Amino acid sequence: MGTKPETEILNVLLDNYEKSKSFTGTNKNTQTFKVSIGSLFPRYLDHAEFEYYTKLNASVAFLLSKDFVSITKKKSGEITYVTLNVAKLDDIYAYVKRIPRRKIQDEILRLLVFYGNADNYTGIRTGGTDSIHVGAEIFLQKALCKDGKIPVVKETGNIFRREEENPLILYAENQKQRIEKNQNVLFFEGDMAEYNDVLRAAKAVWENREEIFIRELSVKLFNNSKQLEKLESKVRSLLFAYGSYEDKDTVFEEHNVIKTPTYVMVKGCGVLDCGETIDLSKIKGDLGLSTATLKALKHVTLGGAGVITIENLTAFHRYEPKNEMAVYLGGFHNQVKRDFLTMVYAENPGCRFRHFGDIDAGGFYILEHLKLKTGIAFEPWGMDCAVLEKYKDNVLPLTDRDRKRIQDLLEKDLPYKDVLEYMLAHNCKLEQEAVV
């Protein structure tokens, strides 16, 4: 039979009880909790299964002897229903070696109180307009304009949550509400130790500012190089569900938790001072700046040139900069790339920043996310109705998800509303690789 019948019966009865208003204390009438033996064990009703029938009756008789249940049966002796004795709940939980749901909820609430407290987090300054990461603030503080004033970060009109809205705090508040309603806690699958590890890992990832390999962080957290990779899917999903991320697959990378080293790829105009002077205009092709090089970077001088960030690699290689520095984002922008852009912005006041990406919901979300995370008023380039019209033979149809995301964007006061409306009206989107 696998699990002992008496244990299976009791667990089903406990499940029913723990889902009830009696459990939450909101019942107005006395409730009983019973299970149909024939429904739970269909073989019990098969007259050819006499041995099975006899053993199951013995199991129920044992539960009766422990005063765990009462029963209803036919004159023939066939048991129809088994009813839980709620006065024996403590003994029943102990017998089936099951932790009461209320005790689990209390333990989860204890964790949620900690992870829901902003005082337990480091690395983010709050207040004012959209917050800027500490690394970017340091760049701003160092890079004074000619008049001795720190450059003002422009209001970006982005669509995402403010930086101080920590996804773990939002998650904790949501789970507290779910517990109040006796709903299951998201990302908790019955293992309290694993759940604690998931929350601990999510906190560490969200707070992280320096580039670190995922296995290095795993050792710091768990003294186990592979534990974080085991939890990675849940941690990504949790942060993505409650944070402001464009893509779940790049959540770790946005927080500089990486599997391979990060490089910022640049080409075009600009003079970099990182101990040695590098003039991009004298280099054929692009230059990859490692994290170590970026940390050593002291100044970036554009001499009146602009900046354009490019979403995809093919488009980056094809693009010919015109009095500007082109920066490859790699489909997403992590802290390393954002700090570099913020440094360029701070040291080159008045510089025009543009972004070239796919003409789809994802491309515009990346643009708005970039504006939020850097505080720089990026303008879209090559992402307008004229481009859609010019390359109409290369467009793709919208998916249902595309339409929903575009509708979400239209609810915001964004300067490219006409493009979003065009995409919906003409059922189209365009990958930037098609733009020559």
Does 397 lie in the same domain as 275?
yes
What is the tens place of the pLDDT at every residue in 272-286? 998 899 999 999 889
Contact, 181 vs 252, CB < 8 A? no
Mean pLDDT of 260-269: 89
What confidence score (pLDDT) does residue 123 get?
Answer: 56
Question: What pLDDT does 137 receive?
Answer: 37
Query: Do 93 and 108 fall within a single domain?
Result: no
Is residue 250 located within the same domain as residue 275? no
Tens digits of per-residue pLDDT, 21-34?
999 888 888 899 99
CA dist 421 and 427 (Å) reads 10
Q: Report percent pLDDT > 90 for the chain.
A: 71
Q: What is the mean pLDDT of residues 5-29?
A: 92
Structural domain of 423: 263-434
258, 275, 290 - which closes a domain:
258
Q: Are residues 231 and 299 in the same domain?
A: no
CA 110 to CA 170: how far, in whole Å?
16
Check pLDDT > 90 for residue 206: yes
Choose the final residue of a domain: 258, 292, 321. 258
The pLDDT value given to residue 331: 59
pLDDT at 194: 97
Give the domain CATH number at 348: 3.40.1360.10
Are 275 and 424 part of one and the same domain?
Answer: yes
Model confidence over 219-237: pLDDT tens digits? 999 999 999 999 999 999 9
pTM of the model: 0.71
Instruction: Please write the tens of the pLDDT for every residue from 140-162.
Output: 333 333 333 333 333 333 334 44
219 and 277 assigned to the same domain: no
Domain edge (last residue) among 77, 98, 119: 98
9-18, 64-73, 129-138, 377-386: lowest mean pLDDT where? 129-138
Q: How confident is the model over 250-274, as a mean pLDDT?
A: 90
In terms of pLDDT, which residue wins out, 243 or 333?
243
**Is residue 311 domain-shared with residue 367, that is, in the same domain?**
yes
Judge if 80 and 57 occupy the same domain.
yes
Q: Residue 129's pLDDT is what?
A: 28
Quick: pLDDT tens for 327-357: 997 756 677 788 899 999 999 999 999 999 9
Q: Are 102 and 108 in contact (CB under 8 A)?
A: no
The average pLDDT across 375-398 equals: 95
Confidence of residue 51 (pLDDT cuts 50, 70, 90): very high
372 and 281 housed in the same domain: yes
Q: Are residues 164 and 291 in the same domain?
A: no
pLDDT, average across residues 418-422: 97
Query: Are 88 and 141 part of one and the same domain?
Result: no
Q: Indicate whether 113 and 242 sit together in one domain.
A: yes
Report the pLDDT averaged over residues 56-67.
96
Nearest CA-CA partner of 354 in 388, 317, 386, 319:
319
Domains: count for the chain = 3
